[in-house]
Chain A
Amino acid sequence: MKGRVWRYGDHVNTDLIISGRYLDDYDPRHLARHALEDLDPVFSQDVRYGDIIVAGRNFGCGSSREQAPVALKTAGVAAVVATSFARIFYRNAINIGLPVVECPEAHANFHVGEIALINIEKGILVNESTGRTMRFDPLPPFLLEILRSGGLVSTTRKRFQPKP
């Protein structure tokens, strides 16, 4: 995948990604409209399908709200690259089919608006604007499989489908 970069700092928490005041309505489009609102009001207006977020340490810390990755994914975000992730956000993102990449080098090597190219399976991240190539540990195969099938619901559903 390839996309335009939005860059944020350390400890971007789930309240910043989607505030508690919007959580009574589960409509993903409603969540997307308020994604990252308290951190960067411009984001939800200007984000384009396929954009990539590059952030610092502990991205997604805080609540277990799955609406956080859902809001980003629905807003059009194709992947989040961070120095590190908080564990529940990391799980939630994979479970709803939003690719997450843990790559400590990335934050220092991207600026807003540059173009990132990610090969999730091979663990390669390229800053196309500067030509710099970085590597990361790809997800274990069974997590890649969940991502590939679009999330955990489809993976689990297979267990409950009537056998032919």
Chain B
Amino acid sequence: MAPTTFAQKVLAQASGEPAVEPGQIVNARIDLAMSHENAALVLRSFREIGASQVWDRDKMVILFDHRIPANTTKAAENHKAVREFVRAEGLPHFYDMREGICHQVLPEKGHVRPGMLIVGSDSHTTSYGALGAFSTGIGATEMASVWATGELWLKVPRTIRIRFEGDLLPGVMSKDVILNVIGQLGADGADYRCVEYTGPTVDAMSVASRLVLCNMAVEMGAKAGVCFPDQKVQRYLAGRTTKAYVPVVSDADAPVERTLELDVSKLGPQVACPHQVDNVRPVEEVEGLPIDQALIGSCTNGRMEDLIAAASLISGQTVAEGVRLIIVPASREVYLEAMERGILASFVRAGALVLNPGCGPCLGAHQGLLAPGERAITTTNRNFRGRMGSPEAEIYLASPLTVAASAIKGVVTDPRRLML
């Protein structure tokens, strides 16, 4: 057999073809379909399609995370419509608002396994590549079609392989690595591609850190991002799923479009400046800019290791006068652990607001919007104009360490200054 990429292998498997080529359009069978609140929108199209029932109850996950608790009456109505549908269809994998953000909850609950083909009606569905799945975002109408048929047309993407070498310096996190990559490749630098993250730096990363890399693959236009599964992934999955899985890995000599070798051993903290994710600069260049709000959370950086990193700087300190620090743990599991380990208490003592697990202000729907002229630094994944409230506000993206340091100082701050 000719050597093939991860994307080719998963999509061949899913479409029942012996082999597929990049550029080929296949009709793929979906292993898992995820929707959040926009299930309400999916539902409308699903009804119009007129299928008598969903294709496979066990392969669907629905949860609420974007607007929880409901922030408007309309949102509450949408939640209600979805709940009624879930009940009527008898869908077993439904998480009402208590669990947290989809991209954290699905891995936690064992829905994501290596080699699966996953679609979600959310662009950051690319996250699940951290566990070796091929996963990508789709729209609501095509999700309705998946609910009805279990199938979807997909183009087999070309592959960009990024090989990272070197140990990360203290004060540097996987968020800095991915911001740096996006800055280099550009917001459309990986358009339609599958991005493979490989090399010793990735091997050394936790599953949580790899989730950050794959989460943000879509910010350079990628269709999917993947880290090949290893023992860490096996350990992560043990106790979360009993279902069997077969890891899928690219052949070393597979035909990739482009290979990048990046040495990250000298990389410092990075910041994405307004209003594009690829507007990335070393933190030194923006240090000293006053901030009004700081946010630690989201599907990008709301996990235990992120909260621990932030607490290592914030614990025993006070949030700067005039700065609102908002903490949003990514899931109930994270929330509980952070609570039990006293981390949430240390944030609250420092003057932070701790919100319920969910998307919170990340998408600008509620819970902490920005006024015109305000500036925020956040661990989320998008700094588009108007993303978190007023289009006249500025959003800077950074790692949990950089955001924590900035919250304490009241200005954008290199976290290494506080780590001496």
Decide if A24 touches B121 in the complex (CB within 8 Å).
no
8 Å CB contact of A26 from B41, B364, B369? B41
Decide if B72 touches A159 in the complex (CB within 8 Å).
no
8 Å CB contact of A61 from B71, B121, B153, B221? B221
- Chain A contacts of B364 at CB under 8 A? 15, 19-21
Decide if A62 touches B121 in the complex (CB within 8 Å).
no
Q: A20-B364, A63-B382, A92-B140 are in contact. List 19 more A-B contacts (CB 8 A).
A: A11-B276, A15-B387, A19-B391, A24-B71, A26-B44, A26-B78, A62-B384, A63-B363, A64-B121, A64-B125, A64-B139, A65-B38, A67-B41, A95-B141, A142-B25, A153-B45, A153-B145, A159-B149, A160-B50
Binary interface encoding of chain B residues 93-126 relative to chain A, with 1 for a CB under 8 A from any of its CBs, else 0: 0000000000000000000000000001111010
When A and B form their complex, which 9 residue pairs have the shortest distance between CB atoms, in order from nearest? A92-B139, A58-B188, A38-B391, A66-B139, A15-B384, A38-B386, A20-B363, A64-B137, A64-B123
* CB closest residue in chain A, given B388: A20
Q: In B13-69, which residues have CB < 8 Å from any A CB?
A: 25, 38, 40-41, 44-45, 48-52, 67
A89 to B120, CA, bound (A): 14
Question: How many of chain A's residues have a CB under 8 angstroms from any CB in B?
Answer: 40
B202 interface residue per 8 A CB criterion: no
Q: In B176-207, which residues have CB < 8 Å from any A CB?
A: 187-188, 191-192
Binary interface encoding of chain A residues 75-118 relative to chain B, with 1 for a CB under 8 A from any of its CBs, else 0: 00000000010111001100110000000000000000000000
Main secondary structure of the interface of A (DSSP, over half): loop
What is the minimal beta-carbon distance from B111 to any residue of chain A, in angstroms?
18
A138 to B223, CA, bound (A): 22
A57 interface residue per 8 A CB criterion: yes
A42 to B387, CA, bound (A): 20
Decide if B385 touches A87 in the complex (CB within 8 Å).
no
A23 interface residue per 8 A CB criterion: yes
- Chain A contacts of B382 at CB under 8 A? 13, 15, 62-63
B142 interface residue per 8 A CB criterion: yes
- Chain B contacts of A15 at CB under 8 A? 364, 382, 384-387
- Chain A contacts of B78 at CB under 8 A? 24, 26
Decide if B140 touches A66 in the complex (CB within 8 Å).
yes
- Chain A contacts of B276 at CB under 8 A? 11
A-B contact pairs, 16 of them (CB 8 A): A15-B382, A15-B385, A24-B72, A24-B78, A58-B188, A63-B363, A64-B120, A64-B123, A66-B41, A84-B191, A88-B123, A91-B142, A92-B141, A142-B25, A152-B45, A157-B50
Decide if B67 touches A87 in the complex (CB within 8 Å).
no
Decide if A58 touches B145 in the complex (CB within 8 Å).
no
B295 interface residue per 8 A CB criterion: no
Decide if B141 touches A66 in the complex (CB within 8 Å).
yes
A62 to B137, CA, bound (A): 11
A46 interface residue per 8 A CB criterion: no
A164 interface residue per 8 A CB criterion: no
Decide if B384 touches A16 in the complex (CB within 8 Å).
yes
What is the minimal beta-carbon distance from B153 to any residue of chain A, in angstroms?
7
Binary interface encoding of chain B residues 215-258 relative to chain A, with 1 for a CB under 8 A from any of its CBs, else 0: 00000010100000000000000000000000000000000000
Decide if A160 touches B51 in the complex (CB within 8 Å).
yes
A96 to B48, CA, bound (A): 13
Binary interface encoding of chain B residues 141-153 relative to chain A, with 1 for a CB under 8 A from any of its CBs, else 0: 1101100110001
Decide if B191 touches A58 in the complex (CB within 8 Å).
yes
8 Å CB contact of B139 from A24, A25, A26, A88? A88
Given A24-B67, A66-B41, A95 contacting B142 (CB threshold 8 A): yes
- Chain B contacts of A140 at CB under 8 A? 25
